[in-house]
Amino acid sequence: MEHFQSETVTVAQGSAYDVIVVGGGMAGVGAAVAARRQGKRVLLLEKGSYLGGLATLGLVVLYHPPLDDGAGRKLVGGLAEELLHLSIKYAYDDLPEGWTFRAEKGPEKGRYQTVFNAPSFALALNELMQQEGIDVLYDALFCIPRMERKRCTGVSVETKAGRYFYSARAFVDASGDGDLLHRAGAEMVERPENALTFWMLSTDLDNMQRAIEAGDVGKAIRIEAIGANPHEDCVEKDVKRYGIRTPEEVSEFIMRGMNMGLTRLKSFDRARRCLVSIPGMAEYRKTRALVGEYTISEKDREKHFEDSIGCTKEEFEPHCIEIPYRCLMTRQCDNILAAGRIISSDGRPRDTIRLIAICVQTGEAAGIAASMLAGSDTTAADLDVPTLQEKLTAQHNKLHF
């Protein structure tokens, strides 16, 4: 391997924070808001030009999994519920009547979920950051952490102005790919698990007419979900699965997705049907995951944990799961927490943990935990979990099903 001399790293003015969150997807947003509401100075790093990750840039415009158990009982609250309602604040929705904010029960047949408009949600998230007083660095690509043994003291970020350094007392890796933890030396598992998928949004004259008749502009939008369904057991075993092992592999995933989109586009009647949007990022579901103090999997269905930070019902299975705090941390890094799809998980539960609502849920827990680390000299392994749980419960989270 060849090594090249790097450019000078500039220490940014006012660069010392309590908590730095790497990644502005839904887990990162949850972590940043949670840490800020604990009174900490927070910096959120985002490599793109707006927040939300796969929910907005990736056009996965269903706020999922449902926040209820399928029988009218709410399972997920806290910031996950708050951001669901924010996703539809400025645009259309299909939220069932009866599922109002902070409602404990709702209709038995209508699930607590909704479709949303991605651009409107992105603008609402940016507004939220300003209202909360969170510093956001857009178009800023995380590069490497500065480590002192097992403790991270800061991160360098590549920007159009050059490479800058920001320091903090605690960190949340919400990058979706475990970039911070991986480069900090934590043990990760990496597997090529992603079937080729490509989500686009379109509209046509028939849908427009239905929208006019219903007085609901949302009915004019069609989700074009193309490619293999990564959840179906019937998917051919020889279907290529993608990871992030090389830049060429990532580029092939994106290019083949766009080729599928173009094939679909060529089938349109150009006078009656058109595309509205295509994804602005690779629509990877699962790449790296932390090998944490505990790995949640199928064996943990219907199981209670003393250190649970939240619960949910699996997306395609009739099982409830709780998420232990230990899935968010490793003894290899004293002050870095995991959030979102990278937490320590395996099997079918991992398919649920990567979805929007649970990314926010684990992000909120990681953000509060990071705020606690920032205010003390303790480590993630020695964190006072009962106090974390008290703080989560105070924010209307449900720890047990």
Amino acid 109: pLDDT: 87
Q: Look-up: residue for tokens 């992603």? A: 194
Amino acid 3: pLDDT: 44
pLDDT band at 233 (very low <50, low <70, confident <90, very high): very low
Q: From start to end of 149-292, where are the E strands?
A: 151-159, 162-173, 188-190, 194-195, 197-204, 222-227, 241-242, 273-277, 288-290
Tokens of 307: 């250190």
pLDDT band at 238 (very low <50, low <70, confident <90, very high): low
Are 390 and 399 in contact by the 8 Å Cβ rule? The answer is: no
Per-residue pLDDT of 250-305, as tens digits, reads 999 999 999 999 999 999 999 999 999 999 999 999 999 999 999 999 999 999 99
Amino acid 227: pLDDT: 87
List own/partner pairs for 85-89 with CB under 8 A and 24 or more apart: 86/121, 86/124, 86/125, 86/128, 87/55, 87/63, 87/114, 87/116, 87/121, 87/124, 88/114, 88/116, 88/117, 89/120, 89/124
Residues 6+ apart with CB under 8 A from 389: 307, 308, 309, 399
Per-residue pLDDT of 47-101, as tens digits, reads 999 999 999 999 999 999 999 999 999 999 999 999 999 999 999 999 999 999 9
For residue 160, the SS3 value is: coil
CA 166/CA 153 separation, integer angstroms: 9
CA 17/CA 7 separation, integer angstroms: 24
For residue 40, the SS3 value is: coil
Amino acid 6: pLDDT: 55
Amino acid 213: pLDDT: 97
Name the percent of the chain lying above pLDDT 70.
96
Are 194 and 286 in contact by the 8 Å Cβ rule? The answer is: yes
Per-residue pLDDT of 137-172, as tens digits, reads 999 999 999 999 999 999 999 999 999 999 999 999
Encode burial over 222-242: b for 16+ CB neighbours within 10 A, e otherwise.
Answer: bebeebbebeeeeeeeeeebb
pLDDT surpasses 50 at 201? yes
Average pLDDT of the residues of the chain: 94
Distances (CA, A) of 8 to 12, 157, 226: 12, 12, 44
Amino acid 262: pLDDT: 97
Q: Look-up: residue for tokens 């996950």? A: 80
Domain ranges of the chain: 9-191+287-394, 195-277
Q: What CATH class does 9-191+287-394 carry?
A: alpha beta
Strand partners, 164: 10, 157
Tokens of 344: 């320590």
Q: Picking from 2-16, 190-204, 240-254, 368-382, which range would have the lowest pLDDT averaged per residue?
A: 2-16
